[in-house]
A = this chain, B = another copy of it.
Amino acid sequence: MRFEIEPNNGAPIFEQLVRQIKFAVAEGILVPGQMISSTRDLAKQLAINPNTVQRAFAQLQGENVLEVQRGRGVSVCVDAKKHCVSQRRELLGERMAAVIQEAINSGLGAEQITSLFEQNLKRLSR
């Protein structure tokens, strides 16, 4: 299990972590029922503050993605996958829509936006 944190991304670190854990569950990298690294370990791995990990975990508990096994650690909820799969599409769709909207507002036409998309997709998908 490996996450990519970009500290100067603009997006809060805890939120990056929340999204990536959801995506990992959606993708099947994290399996329902599976125990997750401890808060402290994960913080060490990612070189971030344990409180930040804690905050991400807290939010994920609130969304029934993670649950605490008292005294043992944190695990993925057994029924989290379906939720995460739909969330993945939703979360990515929101960002995608926001970019497209800004491009439209800036005066670009559909073809130009499509070209922008395809160039970047090609560049990144190797």
Q: Which of A13, A113, A116, A121 has most chain B Cβ within 10 Å?
A: A121
Q: Helix, strand, loop or mixed for chain A's interface?
A: helix
Q: How many copies does the complex hold?
A: 4
- Contacts A7-B70, A8-B67, A62-B62 given: A120-B105 contact, CB under 8 Å? no
**A49–B124 alpha-carbon span in the complex (Å):** 39
Bits for A93-119, please: 1 = Cβ < 8 Å to B, else 0. Answer: 101111111111111101001101101
Identify the A interface with B (CB < 8 A). Answer: 4, 7-8, 13, 19-20, 23, 26-27, 29, 49, 59, 62, 67-71, 88-89, 92-93, 95-108, 110, 113-114, 116-117, 119-121, 123-125
User: Which 4 pairs between the two chains have the least Cβ-Cβ distance?
Assistant: A27-B107, A23-B106, A97-B120, A95-B99
